[in-house]
A and B are shown apart, each in its own frame.
Chain A
């Protein structure tokens, strides 16, 4: 058995590209682990990030949902169930936008990103670590929202639906990490928080994350299907049993296209940043 697995592994590793042999996978895994821990600790110890990222979605849900929305219904679901999906989308988008957008812009301003570039750190490992941290924060925000909705809002979903909602929103939030990457390399450290908030908040409103799509004014109703956050929320709404205004296929195609465009723009901004340093 052992001999068999060894002989299977041997040709595999020898046919691996050269860079794998020179830089063992185990070292890259260790870098990834430490990089992820560092990103996580950095955020946890920074109230300027943690407080708004957690407080806004939870507070909005408590105010608009628990305080005002009790007893109301939107189509087949309660207002409290509905808002769980939309504020979930809102929170996840924020975690990704701020981790990538504001985080990168600030650290570029400090010169940390430049210093890292002078070191033998493969940039992809750094971005993957940031992505994982964005997902961890997304999950934490969702757990907080689910606790509010489940314990205080009387939202009763079968377990698979809770899991499916959390998984969809966490994964579906990743395109916004790519979007944040672009602004992180486009904006300066001082302008980034302002620019990102100016995009984040109005887009959230226009995508029906604060007020249900059904009650949005006509102009926004026409605009919403063109916005990526709308598609993230709509499929979340489908999971909680609400009526949706976009099919899975539409939403996935749309979010994929949004990811590709954001990544291309993000990589271009990253390259431009590398060349502009002196």
Chain B
């Protein structure tokens, strides 16, 4: 169906944006809110590291108020894209701009905030010292207490960074990203290495910023994370955009719906139904994968009045992503992990 970037569509996109009729990777859908202005963009950007191509003629537009999830396997070019928009790197060819300025300019940097993937701050400064220091770099930073409250760090002001838990450390890094009152936030794998609870706490902080109208670009391995936070997902692989759309649109690329139930219906019977792509029995449990769940469930219930334990799950983003970036088995493994 759709798996590799469609050249024709990519070329169309770079001609400019036509409000309300944004051509998308996914046929028949419109992804971007028509009127919102683009506030950061990579325009035909290629980036080489020596002989390695990190980004290959990529186009990426971030619009005001969006939460964009940049998704892709390791080495897809996600971090490179963020570093380009932060002005930490210069493109080999193509144009980059952030908030209407060169990304490395002071004008852009005073209005952006970032969490970088590998960044750690010195252990021997306290939470308040770190936030106060970083906030001083920005001309319009909100009060430190407000930042600490937004990052869920109230009460930890005098604790040394080295004494914080993993989740608290990550929330401090988040506090440093928001302490300057940025319009645009870059979060590079913000929850990597966190347990479920800590991850959810950070999600709340990120959502609060998005609800306050901040624009967010976040990269992640956790597809669940993109699903939970992003209003738009851009899937990249090998330095190219392979798909973009709302989480729902991306999920439609999954294999289909997964149905599970306890029934006496024979495997062979179900396998013959239209739209059913696989059937598998283990003991009393029958598992089916179907393009659409509803007609199959109706047939199941009609045939077996005693059918029990019915469970229907739409395939998650994981499956969608694997199908979108297929042909690269190693990285698919990575994505699922």
Contact = CB atoms under 8 A, between A and B. Distances in A.
B160 interface: yes
A27 B139 CA distance: 8
B109 A120 contact: yes
A98 to B, nearest CB: 15
Contacts of A19: 106
B176 A115 contact: yes
B40 to A, nearest CB: 14
Contact of B136 (A34, A41, A42, A118): A34
A277 B83 contact: yes
Contact of A120 (B79, B120, B133, B137): B137
Contact of A112 (B54, B114, B119, B129): B119
Nearest to B120: A110
Contacts, number: 85
A112 B120 contact: yes
B137 A118 contact: no
Query: Which of B122, B129, B180 has most A Cβ within 10 Å?
Result: B122
A246 interface: no
Interface in B141-166: 160
Interface string B175-196: 0100010000000000000000
A192 B238 CA distance: 35
Contacts of B89: 277-278
A34 B88 contact: no
A46 B162 CA distance: 11
Contact of B125 (A27, A41, A117): A41
B116 interface: yes
B114 A115 contact: yes
Nearest to B138: A120
A118 B137 CA distance: 11
Contact of B133 (A34, A111, A114, A278): A34
A41 B161 CA distance: 13
A34 B124 CA distance: 15
B102 interface: no
A119 interface: yes
Contacts of A38: 125, 129-130, 133
Given A41-B129, A114-B88, A278-B54, A119 B119 contact: no
Interface in A58-100: none
B114 A31 contact: no
A115 B133 contact: no
A121 interface: yes
Contacts of A46: 124
Interface residues of A, number: 28
Contacts of B9: none
Contacts of A121: 137
Nearest to A27: B139
Contacts of B109: 118-120
Main secondary structure of the interface of A (DSSP, over half): helix
A222 interface: no
A41 to B, nearest CB: 6
Contact of A23 (B106, B133, B136, B180): B106
A34 B125 CA distance: 12
Given A31-B137, A46-B124, A117 B106 contact: no
A11 B75 CA distance: 54
A19 B139 CA distance: 13
A214 interface: no
A120 B110 contact: yes
B257 interface: no
Nearest to A19: B106
Given A34-B132, A118-B114, A110 B86 contact: no
Given A119-B180, A277-B83, A278-B89, A112 B136 contact: no
B121 A278 contact: no
Interface of A: 19, 22-23, 27, 30-31, 34-35, 37-38, 41-42, 45-46, 107, 110-112, 114-115, 117-121, 274, 277-278
Nearest 10 A-B pairs (CB), nearest first?
A111-B119, A45-B124, A120-B109, A111-B118, A115-B119, A110-B120, A120-B110, A118-B86, A121-B137, A118-B114
Given A31-B136, A110-B118, A110-B119, 20 more contacts: A23-B139, A31-B137, A35-B133, A37-B129, A41-B125, A42-B122, A42-B125, A45-B125, A114-B88, A118-B86, A118-B88, A119-B109, A119-B180, A120-B106, A120-B137, A274-B88, A277-B88, A278-B54, A278-B79, A278-B83
26 contacts: A27-B139, A31-B136, A34-B132, A35-B133, A38-B133, A42-B124, A42-B125, A110-B119, A110-B121, A111-B117, A111-B120, A112-B121, A112-B122, A114-B119, A115-B119, A117-B88, A118-B88, A118-B112, A118-B114, A119-B114, A119-B138, A120-B106, A120-B110, A274-B88, A277-B83, A278-B83
